[in-house]
Amino acid sequence: QVQLVESGGGSLQAGGSLRLSCTASGYTYSRYCMGWFRQAPGKQREGVAVIDSDGRTSYAESVKGRFTISKDNAKNTLYLQMNSLKPEDSAMYYCAANAWDGTCLFSVRWYNYWGQGTQVTVSS
C-alpha cells in the first residue's frame, strides 16, 4: 500500500516562497506518475503540477513560471517549489500518485493514492 505524507505548508504574505514535500513509501511498482493538487474552500480539487517517472513535467496555466515540481528518487520524495505566491494560491495541497508508465494526467479521479494534505495560506 502506497503511503504519501506531505509537509511544508504554512502561512505567508503574497510574493513569498514555500517548498512542499511529499515522502512516499510502500511502492510496489517502479513507474509512477506523481502530482500536486490543491483544493480551496468551496472549490473543486484541481491539478497543479505532475511529473512522470522520467521526470517530464506539466503545469496548470495558473502556476506556470512560478511553481516547480521535482522529485528525488533516492529519498522517495516529491517537491513543489512555489514562488511569487498569490492569495489565490491559498488552499489545501495534496500529493498524489498512480502506478503508470506513460503520460501523466491532471484528472483527480485518475490518481489512486493520496496524502492527507498540507495547508498553504497566502495573505495580501
- Share the mean pLDDT of the chain: 95
The three three-digit cell numbers of residue 9, written as one number: 505548508
Other CB atoms within 10 Å distance of the CB of residue 113: 18
Does position 120 have pLDDT exceeding 80, yes or no?
yes
Does position 24 have pLDDT exceeding 90, yes or no?
yes
Place of cell 505548508: 9
Distances (CA, A) of 77 to 3, 43, 44, 54, 104: 12, 27, 26, 15, 17
HSE, CB side, 13 Å, CA atoms: give it for residue 40: 8
Q: Which residue has the higher pLDDT, 74 or 22?
A: 22
pLDDT digits (tens, 9 = 90+) for 78-95: 999 999 999 999 999 999
